[in-house]
Chains A and B, each alone.
Chain A
């Protein structure tokens, strides 16, 4: 009789363990799958979907961004893009004393591996005996002479470069009115 009772308890326990066995079976199927998927190496950063996208790695165009910031005499900065490859920067030079003034205005980025050519020119809306120049990569390019004559410069941007362009103006006497300077960068 004891043997029969033991057998009955064993059968009951056995049927209770069946769901656990089924879960065990599912885990034996699921865990190796997840482990195999997890062991597959990956790269850090951009995913494979970015390979065929003309994104930051393969963009043939240069990028120009406004630096911003505060300056005592250069206000109301504006950057717009009249057409592809053309960047137009404008600011207002307010009345100032004789002297030299400069401000970082634009961040110019060339994400491609090739050297890009750009032409830079500027206009000063009102002649004011002020020389305007652009400083890029430690080189100074005079864009408007003291006599008001505009110049266009061709600049080469190295591949994978990221430079800050400074606008510098030099006034040989006091200027009592506001003026507007417009710098145009054209990607060739």
Chain B
């Protein structure tokens, strides 16, 4: 079996679990915190035939918005952490001034120890696209605040830009540009 596929499968388990667990836990924690009446009933309109129902539309808007925001944060934060580390590392190797700045901030070792692969960045970015898509479609349907949909769109665009930048860095290693040194 392809090693790339096996690695991709292994890397996908964590973000997939975070999405499901994050949404599940955040929905019920928010319902408990707001002390809302809810019921879990079977429904023919949903894929899994079980649906959580709330009494008021305003409660649905509140729970959906903030549970989507928490799930988005659970995927976006690790994605940007990985991207930042990779981009800082490349910047440090290109520009000595970056090394000075990183040393002053005492994060040089953190950056240089990075072994993040392009595959890991790709997997996390794909999951960020998925959760952004869910937030945006939920906003359009009126079940989530619009600002959360906009925020998720912006985050996914930034992550995509970071991923493309990473690809550029990796391809530049194979096809170096003039006057550039790559490690």
Q: How many A-B residue pairs have CB under 8 A?
A: 100
B144 to chain A, nearest CB (A): 8
Closest chain A residue to B129 by CB distance?
A29
Q: Which residues of A contact B16 (CB under 8 A)?
A: 28-29, 31-32
Contact partner of B5 among A22, A31, A44, CB < 8 A? A22
B142 to chain A, nearest CB (A): 4
B146 to chain A, nearest CB (A): 13
Contact partner of B20 among A25, A29, A32, A42, CB < 8 A? A32
User: 1/0 per position for A14-44, CB-CB distance to B under 8 A?
Assistant: 1101100110110011011111111111111
Contact partner of A43 among B20, B27, B56, B71, CB < 8 A? B56
Does B47 lie within 8 Å of A25, measured CB to CB? no
Q: Of residues 118 to 158 in A, which have CB atoms within 8 Å of B's CB atoms?
A: none
Q: How large is the interface on B (under 10, 10 to 19, 20 to 34, 35 or more residues)?
A: 35 or more
Q: How large is the interface on A (under 10, 10 to 19, 20 to 34, 35 or more residues)?
A: 20 to 34
Does A41 lie within 8 Å of B53, measured CB to CB? yes
Does A51 lie within 8 Å of B57, measured CB to CB? yes
| B134 interfacial by beta-carbon distance below 8 Å | yes
| B161 interfacial by beta-carbon distance below 8 Å | no
| A2 interfacial by beta-carbon distance below 8 Å | no
Does B9 lie within 8 Å of A24, measured CB to CB? yes
What are 18 of the A-B contact pairs (CB < 8 Å)? A21-B5, A21-B6, A25-B8, A29-B12, A32-B16, A32-B127, A33-B19, A33-B134, A34-B47, A35-B20, A38-B46, A38-B48, A39-B24, A39-B67, A40-B68, A40-B138, A41-B60, A51-B57
